[in-house]
Amino acid sequence: MTAIIIEDEIPAARRLEKLLSEKDFTVFAIVHSVKSAVSWLKDNAHPDLIFMDIKLRDGLCFPIFDKVKIQSKVVFTTAFDEFALKAFEYNSLDYLLKPIDVAKLDKLIAKLETFKAVFYDSSYWKILETSMSDPYKASFLVNSGMSVKKISTADIPYFLSQNNTTFLCFENRKFPIQRSLEKLESELHPAHFFRISRKYVVNRKFIIEFQNDFNLRLQNSNEKFPVSRQRRSAFMAWYKE
């Protein structure tokens, strides 16, 4: 496999390059700033993976995505975890804290190999990318054991944000997805889905009871889904439509 490293700390970059070389990666380049990364990505074929530090010499890395359509899978690296949720908005394959733990790197490579086994043709990677970026998504792909499961958006009762992770909740299972609820709000059809609180986005089709205390009940769930005070008026207007 091939990779580039976008990292402003030279010792950290050299260490990662050594680790990847030991795992049979070909590292095409090491670049140290947003500007140099944009230049390299515009002028070269994109590798299989990009290991991208979040804080670079000339600022945060996220503007790179506005200037270049990245064809690679991205693994964010950083010494801080404060940007984990924002990193998930960019459909990263993983998020590694520095100094990078070899066991976690091995786990990442195993995950990639699993994906490659399932998506053995490049067209399948394209399907995955499309499913993760199109507005008003028709379906989601989630990891289910050693396979990938496709779930129709219309069949998803709700999405849950918990412990800095977003879960797609389906058939009494919680599947982690690399998205924030904010990102989901722009991808889900507003006629069918509503964010009732910081924690939940619910599917109108599955609401079976709307209680006076602004708790919802959904099909096939014993949980209560409270509508936050700040969203009650908007929810009532949405629910009446």
pLDDT tens for 109-149 read 887 776 655 544 455 555 555 544 445 788 888 887 767 78
152 within a domain of the structure (yes/no) = yes
Eight-state DSSP code of residue 164: T
Q: What value does the mean pLDDT of the chain take?
A: 85
Q: What is the pLDDT of residue 119?
A: 46
Q: What is the pLDDT of residue 142?
A: 87
Domain boundary among 84, 118, 152: 118
Q: What is the pLDDT of residue 228?
A: 94
- Residues 113 and 139 reside in one and the same domain: no
Domain boundary among 118, 148, 166: 118
Average pLDDT on 216-223 reads: 91
Domain boundary among 118, 147, 164: 118
Tokens 């998803």 belong to 156
Q: What is the pLDDT of residue 175?
A: 93
CA dihedral 18, 70, 72, 40 (to 10 degrees): -30
Eight-state DSSP code of residue 100: P
**N-to-C CA span, the chain:** 51
**C-alpha to C-alpha distance for 64 and 102, rounded to whole angstroms:** 27
Q: What is the pLDDT of residue 81?
A: 65
- Residues 99 and 191 reside in one and the same domain: no
CATH number of the domain bearing residue 36: 3.40.50.2300
More confident residue, 137 or 91: 137
| Burial class (CB within 10 angstroms; exposed 0-12, middle 13-18, buried 19+) of 15 | middle
Q: What is the pLDDT of residues 162-181, one digit of tens each?
A: 998 999 999 999 999 988 99
- Residues 147 and 83 reside in one and the same domain: no
Average pLDDT on 75-81 reads: 81
Lowest mean pLDDT among 47-56, 101-110, 200-209, 230-239: 101-110
Average pLDDT on 184-212 reads: 92
39 within a domain of the structure (yes/no) = yes
Average pLDDT on 10-32 reads: 93
Residue 190 above 50 pLDDT?
yes
CATH number of the domain bearing residue 203: 2.40.50.1020
How sure is the predictor about 84, in pLDDT bands with cuts at 50, 70 and 90?
A: low
The dihedrals phi and psi of 138, each to the nearest 5 degrees, come to -85, -25
- What kind and span of H or E run contains 65? helix 63-67
- Residues 75 and 141 reside in one and the same domain: no
Question: Angle at CA 155, nearest 5°, toward 151 and 157?
Answer: 115
**C-alpha to C-alpha distance for 177 and 179, rounded to whole angstroms:** 6
Total domains in the fold of the chain: 2
- Residues 73 and 141 reside in one and the same domain: no
- Residues 112 and 203 reside in one and the same domain: no
Residue 89's nearest CA partner among 195, 165, 180 is 180
**Domain span at residue 84?**
2-118
- Residues 167 and 222 reside in one and the same domain: yes
**C-alpha to C-alpha distance for 67 and 71, rounded to whole angstroms:** 13
Peptide bond into 99 cis (omega under 30): yes
The structure tokens listed for 148 are: 């990938």
- Residues 104 and 149 reside in one and the same domain: no
Q: What is the pLDDT of residue 39?
A: 94
pTM score, two decimals?
Answer: 0.49
Q: What is the pLDDT of residue 7?
A: 95
Q: What is the pLDDT of residue 82?
A: 66
Percent of the chain with pLDDT over 70: 85
